[in-house]
Chains A and B, each alone.
Chain A
Amino acid sequence: SQKIEQNSEALNIQEGKTATLTCNYTNYSPAYLQWYRQDPGRGPVFLLLIRENEKEKRKERLKVTFDTTLKQSLFHITASQPADSATYLCALARTPVTGTYKYIFGTGTRLKVLA
Chain B
Amino acid sequence: ETGVTQTPRHLVMGMTNKKSLKCEQHLGHNAMYWYKQSAKKPLELMFVYNFKEQTENNSVPSRFSPECPNSSHLFLHLHTLQPEDSALYLCASSQELGVGANVLTFGAGSRLTVL
- From A8, A32, A43, A102, residue with most partner B Cβ within 10 Å: A43
A69 interface contact, C-beta 8 A: no
Measured CB to CB, the closest approach of chain B to A43, in angstroms, equals 3
Enumerate A65-105 residues with CB–CB distance to B below 8 Å: 89, 91, 93, 95, 100-105
- From A91, A100, A106, A107, residue with most partner B Cβ within 10 Å: A100
Q: Are B42 and A104 within 8 A (Cβ)?
A: yes
- From B4, B50, B98, residue with most partner A Cβ within 10 Å: B98
Measured CB to CB, the closest approach of chain B to A115, in angstroms, equals 26
Q: Mark A29-54, 1 if CB is under 8 A from B, else 0.
A: 00110101000011111100101000
Q: How far is the CA of A100 from the CA of B100 in the complex (A)?
A: 8
Given contacts A41-B108, A43-B109, whether A101 and B2 have CB atoms under 8 Å apart is: no
Task: Count A interface residues, CB 8 Å.
Answer: 27
Residues on A with beta carbons closer than 8 Å to the beta carbon of B105: 46
Q: Are B106 and A44 within 8 A (Cβ)?
A: yes
Q: How far is the CA of A104 from the CA of B48 in the complex (A)?
A: 14
Given contacts A34-B103, A42-B109, whether A107 and B40 have CB atoms under 8 Å apart is: yes
Q: Are A101 and B99 within 8 A (Cβ)?
A: yes
Q: Are B42 and A4 within 8 A (Cβ)?
A: yes
Q: How far is the CA of A101 from the CA of B99 in the complex (A)?
A: 7
Q: Which chain A residues have a beta carbon within 8 Å of chain B's beta carbons? A: 4, 8, 31-32, 34, 36, 41-46, 49, 51, 89, 91, 93, 95, 100-108
Give 16 A-B contacts (CB < 8 Å), ordered by A residue. Answer: A32-B100, A34-B103, A43-B4, A43-B106, A43-B107, A43-B108, A44-B104, A45-B2, A46-B105, A49-B101, A51-B101, A89-B42, A100-B56, A100-B97, A101-B98, A108-B42
